[in-house]
Amino acid sequence: MASRLFAEKGFAATTMREIAERSGLQQSSIYYYFKSKDEILEAIVGEVNSLVLEGFARIARDGGSPGLRLFRTLRLDVTMLCGLPYDVNEILRLPTLQEERFAAYWKERQQLNDAVEGLLAEGVAGGELVEMDVRLAALSLLSNDEAVQNWYRPMGEHRLVGDYEPHEIGEFLASMALQAFLVDRRRLSAIRRRADELDGRV
């Protein structure tokens, strides 16, 4: 609810009382968990990066080809974003996020971009993935993940993408991306099966 208020009214104009009311809580209850709006915003943006970076670290430990790790990373990113209870794009547009205290958030965001770029470069060098501009490809993939979440979030009669679950959207986008980049597209099925095994989906 706080994220929606920040997007609607702006961070500065939103009060803790309004956050409490929109959440159906007493104002004292909000202050029990958060001392200020700043702490609420930090918790929101921190969640976005930490979930994906933790997942990426796990994927790196599991190993496998660059294509396999890329598929799992993209699937995780889209699934996580579509499962959030707020539109991350609304949060990222807040001018407050440009302040110095959010430097750690942007650093972590860059780490994710660098990790995807690294996977693409490794895949190209090893001959698994087609030649490409890996920097632009990484930016496009991660931007696409966030854009899909933007279309997925509206509820009720305004939902444009039907009744898909987040994991279904993640599966589709990761498959679409990898199929476009694989030198041998026939490997996609095997990669998906192995990803399912590693992610406990079988």
| Residue pLDDT tens, the chain, 202 long | 666 676 666 666 777 888 777 777 777 777 777 887 778 777 777 777 788 889 999 999 999 999 999 999 999 999 988 887 777 777 777 777 777 878 888 888 899 899 999 999 999 999 999 999 999 999 999 999 888 887 876 554 555 556 788 999 999 999 999 999 999 999 999 999 999 999 998 7
Which CATH superfamily groups domain 1-35? Homeodomain-like (1.10.10.60)
Phi, psi torsion values for 192, nearest 5 degrees? -65, -40
Whole-structure pTM value: 0.82
Residue 78 to residue 38: CA distance in whole angstroms: 26
Nearest Cα neighbor of 184 from 134, 122, 128 is 128
pLDDT digits (tens, 9 = 90+) for 105-114: 888 889 989 9
Distant-in-sequence, close-in-space partners of 41: CB < 8 Å, separation ≥ 6: 2, 6, 11, 91, 94, 96, 97
Residue 130 to residue 65: CA distance in whole angstroms: 14
pLDDT value of position 202:
76
Q: How many CB atoms lie within 10 A of CB 140?
A: 13
Contact between 169 and 82 (Cβ < 8 Å) = yes
Residue 119 to residue 115: CA distance in whole angstroms: 6
Query: Which two three-digit tokens encode residue 200?
Result: 């406990």
Q: Which CATH fold would you assign to the domain 41-198?
A: Tetracycline Repressor; domain 2 (1.10.357)
Q: Where are the alpha helices (DSSP H) in the chain?
A: 2-9, 16-23, 27-33, 37-62, 66-83, 88-92, 103-125, 134-152, 166-181, 188-198
Domain ranges of the chain: 1-35, 41-198
pLDDT digits (tens, 9 = 90+) for 121-143: 999 999 999 999 999 999 999 99
Nearest Cα neighbor of 81 from 55, 106, 104 is 55
pLDDT value of position 47:
76
Q: How many CB atoms lie within 10 A of CB 32?
A: 10
Strand partners, 182: 129
Contact between 75 and 171 (Cβ < 8 Å) = yes
Helix, strand, or coil here: 182? Answer: strand
